[in-house]
Structure 1
């Protein structure tokens, strides 16, 4: 029993530092720029090491072999993407323009399996709480969104030009994917007829024609159709 614990301790110790060395060797992009390929590589590498360590029939040399052989494969792929530009779109993916000139590119969202709720979440991570603030948005290969704000919403900050402070309202999403968000209407104490009338005034046939609609106090509607 004591011998088993000793062997496991040695394997864990060596495996830990072998993975640390491998991570340093492969570079920081394995952590900070996690593409789908990098994600799969990390999962498989962890599974290889885990199985090797806890299988009593596999010795320490198999643990090291699994780590460094898989690391060599990752390194070769990284070299290919660096040297052959055409391979990058296949192995790493391509960025997608999902908001262009302030308009949501619905087909690009569908192509990338991204719904509007996920898009909102990604934008909020960039301190963008309303679609109206975005001039262009690019979905990067690691799943994040890079945002170019519209001129009126971009820097400098209000405090830099000494503007008087005022309250900031959170935008209320009213329509998403052609369906009314009933909770939002209840929050505003409005009826569906009010929203339908607002759409008709803007030449929009009805709710089903609307991809996304939000309302913000003092700024009004931001409406985008399919």
Structure 2
């Protein structure tokens, strides 16, 4: 009974048995309500995981605490979580309350830097996600969307979903790793020195139709020499599909 009710002098084997009981109990809870949680971690799932861990974790380290209270509380939280999940599945309006809407971070190949700031995603983190999605060449990206589970999904332009050069038995130069030359209107001199001079960069900017680096939010150049530019003022660029 000390294992269940708690004791100041709970022996080591009592903690071991408690750990087994809690593990099996959490396993059963996950089997009942956790399939959705395991698929994606949204705000509701995160709260559920933190609360359950806090409730059932303390009796494993404090032998004087009884188990029936935390187990009852965990069952209540699990039941509430399951109820909210079921209501969200059947009621779209309620779903919008507990689940975030997807947020577009890039449209028509243009990075919406105001949206990046809104969701507190840095440019470096955004570019890392692009590379993880196989879209290191940002000119191939049509849409980039921040999903409700915090991951960024990428929709490439239709032209890049068709036959690849490999399918056509054509040899194409490797694009390599794209270097950031301009970020938020500032020239990254450490990267520029490996590619060219300031004069060379200014000529390239003018050739692309921009007056100065302040008009550019992001500019990258890959090893094949391909240039990608996302402007600071995105409204006209999106409208024109640039």
Normalised TM-score (structure 2):
0.84
CA contact 2:41–2:149 (8 Å) conserved in 1: yes
Post-superposition, which runs of at least 4 consecutive aligned residues in structure 1 deviate over 4 A? Answer: none
| Matched position secondary structure for 1:159 | coil
Q: Distance in 2 between matches of 1:62 and 1:161?
A: 66
Give me the CA root mean square deviation: 2.1
Q: Distance in 2 between matches of 1:225 and 1:102?
A: 11
Q: Distance in 2 between matches of 1:153 and 1:203?
A: 25
Name the counterpart of 2:167: 160
Shift of 1:157: 3.9
CA 1:157 to 1:24, structure 2 compared with 1: closer, same or farther past 3 Å?
A: farther
Instruction: Structure 2: state its 5+ residue gaps.
Output: 1-7, 233-242
1:186-201 equivalence runs, <5 A: 186-188=193-195, 190-201=196-207
Shift of 1:142: 0.7
CA contact 1:52–1:62 (8 Å) conserved in 2: no
* 1:112 has 2:87 as partner: no
Name the counterpart of 2:42: 35
Name the counterpart of 1:206: 212
Shift of 1:166: 4.0
Where relative contact order (Cα < 8 A, 6+ residues apart) is larger, the structure is: 2
Name the counterpart of 2:101: 94
Normalised TM-score (structure 1):
0.90
Name which of structure 1's ranges 192-201 and 3-12 shifts more when overlaid on structure 2: 192-201
Instruction: Structure 1: state its 5+ residue gaps.
Output: none
Number of residues of Structure 1 aligned to a counterpart in Structure 2: 225
CA contact 2:218–2:231 (8 Å) conserved in 1: yes
Q: 1:135 aligns with which of 139, 142, 150?
A: 142
| Matched position secondary structure for 1:222 | strand
Shift of 1:107: 2.2
CA deviation vs aligned residue, 1:140-189 (integer Å, no higher than 9, x gap) = 0111112111233224344333223643322211111222222211222x
